[in-house]
Amino acid sequence: MNNYHGKRVLVTGGLGFIGSNLAIRLVRNGAKVTIVDSRVPGCGANLFNIAPVASDVDVIEACVGDVEKFTAPLKEADVVFNLAGEISHSRSMEDPERDLYLNTVTQLRFLLACRVHCAGARILYASTRQVYGKPEYLPVDENHRVQPIDFNGVHKCAATQYHLLLARRGDLDCRVLRLSNVYGPRMALHLPQQGFLGVYICRALNREPIVVYGAGTQLRDPVHVDDVVGAFLSAGSAPDLKSRVFNIGGPHPITLREIAATAARLSARAGEQSPIHELPFPDHLLRMDIGSYFSDPARIERELGSIPQVEFEDGLRDTLSYYRKHGGHYLGLAKQPEPPAATRLAYQAIAR
């Protein structure tokens, strides 16, 4: 990854889980990194995430839609990694206008500003496997029909199309990575809406019951954040690609029951570990259940040579070790307040 040495890189959402891991790797590879993050409550921003490189990055607290606050580094950026946004599927159903604002309106404003200030720039966008909805076949490749089952998936799909439209027009060089369930150090464990893996890990660390809904036979392909960062860096440095959309998943599909059991076993101490409770789906979760999902890695392997390296048990062991050392910066966080009034008014005004 020496292609980034001396490069000026902008990372939106760089205080969050994946963005911070990416920023750390970029700094260690010699890049000059600027982070833009709005620190909207509930989206996982945490200044401690960038502690290893805090003195080597510039942090601008701003919404990606407020480009006037970071125009200078945007104009200078060689590569932009666009990871800003909300990822919670359940919260998008509770407050779709908030999700609309964070995942579409601000993204469109940002991209239109990129077209003005850094025309032709390479932009890597973090999308989600959730845009596919309930799979019609497995493994899921990039040609699978897009049919999201929640507002977050709809809005992420819209933001993807903004990126691809501007790429087709030749205004920007955009590439989209659709991520499976990502785990690893720096997850926002105190935010249960951030995904089931964070919930399982948090409960395992606290020796609390891990609840598996349904039969627990649903398949997922968890992917370690190191592999995700590697895929982003590869996609960002490749000069020419045939495709613009890539699925990113883990090495092997495993069941939810196996994921829960592994988390409980690896976190056990003195013979004590979290019990696993299998419960029927509540109605509101059943309507969002997609059954089994795992990605077809053929395209990204063929075009980027990107192959996930971290086996789930090894990656989870690494993750648990990180939180045993730094858990106070994650597990000990208080419940975050609602978004500030200015943010609420902004997305409510857009919705009207």
Q: Look at residue 135 and give its three-state secondary structure.
A: coil
Tokens of 138: 């497995």
The Cα 128–Cα 170 span in angstroms is: 24
End-to-end CA distance of the chain: 46
Q: Which CA distances in Å does 321 have to 189, 191, 327?
A: 14, 19, 9
Per-residue pLDDT, 332: 64
Q: How many other C-beta atoms can be found within 10 angstroms of the C-beta atom of residue 103?
A: 24
Query: Do 140 and 192 meet the contact criterion of CB atoms below 8 Å apart?
Result: no
Per-residue pLDDT of the chain (352 residues; tens, 9 = 90+): 569 999 999 999 999 999 999 999 999 999 999 999 999 988 999 999 999 999 999 999 999 999 999 999 999 999 999 999 999 988 999 999 999 999 999 999 999 999 999 999 999 999 999 999 999 999 999 999 999 999 999 999 999 999 999 999 999 999 999 999 999 999 999 887 788 999 999 999 999 999 999 889 999 999 999 999 999 999 999 998 999 999 999 999 999 999 999 999 999 987 789 999 999 888 877 888 899 999 999 999 999 999 999 999 999 999 999 999 999 999 865 443 344 444 444 434 433 3
Give the position of tokens 């990656």.
315
Tokens of 350: 């857009």
Q: Look at residue 199 and give its three-state secondary structure.
A: helix
Indicate the angle between helix axes 256-267 and 312-326, nearest 10 degrees: 50
Tokens of 80: 């932009």
Sheet with 173-179, edge to edge strand ranges: 57-61, 32-37, 8-12, 79-82, 122-128, 173-179, 245-248
Q: Domain 2-188+223-250+295-310+334-341: which CATH class? A: alpha beta
